[in-house]
C-alpha cells in the first residue's frame, strides 16, 4: 500500500456491474467507482452497468471489455 502518484494516477479503469447482482449490490459498485475517482484521474474511470445481469457476465459486458483492451493495451504480434 502506498500513495497513488505519477503515471499510476493516469491508469485507465473499466468497472462493470450487473444491476441485479444478489451477491454484490450495484450500490457497492457505485461506491467503489467513486472511491477510484477520488484516487486517480476521474476522467479515466468508466463504470458500466448491465440491465438484468446478476453475478455473472453477458455479451454486452464482454464487448465492452474487448473494446477497453483494444483501446488501452498494445496489440499482440
Asked if the model's pLDDT at residue 1 lies above 60, the reply is: no
Asked if the model's pLDDT at residue 75 lies above 90, the reply is: no
Which grid coordinates belong to 22? 444478489
Distance of alpha carbon 57 from its chain centroid, rounded? Answer: 13
List, for residues 8-64, the tens digit of each pLDDT value.
Answer: 889 999 999 999 999 999 999 999 999 999 999 999 999 999 999 999 999 999 999
pTM of the model: 0.86
Give the integer Cα–Cα distance in Å for 50 and 33: 15
Amino acid at each position: 500500500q502506498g500513495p497513488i502518484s505519477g503515471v499510476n494516477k493516469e491508469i485507465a479503469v473499466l468497472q462493470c456491474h450487473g444491476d441485479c447482482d444478489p451477491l454484490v449490490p450495484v450500490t457497492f459498485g457505485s461506491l467503489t467507482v467513486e472511491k477510484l475517482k477520488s484516487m486517480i484521474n476521474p476522467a479515466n474511470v468508466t463504470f458500466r452497468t448491465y440491465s438484468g445481469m446478476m453475478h455473472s457476465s453477458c455479451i454486452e459486458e464482454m464487448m465492452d471489455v474487448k473494446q477497453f483492451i483494444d483501446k488501452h493495451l498494445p496489440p499482440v504480434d
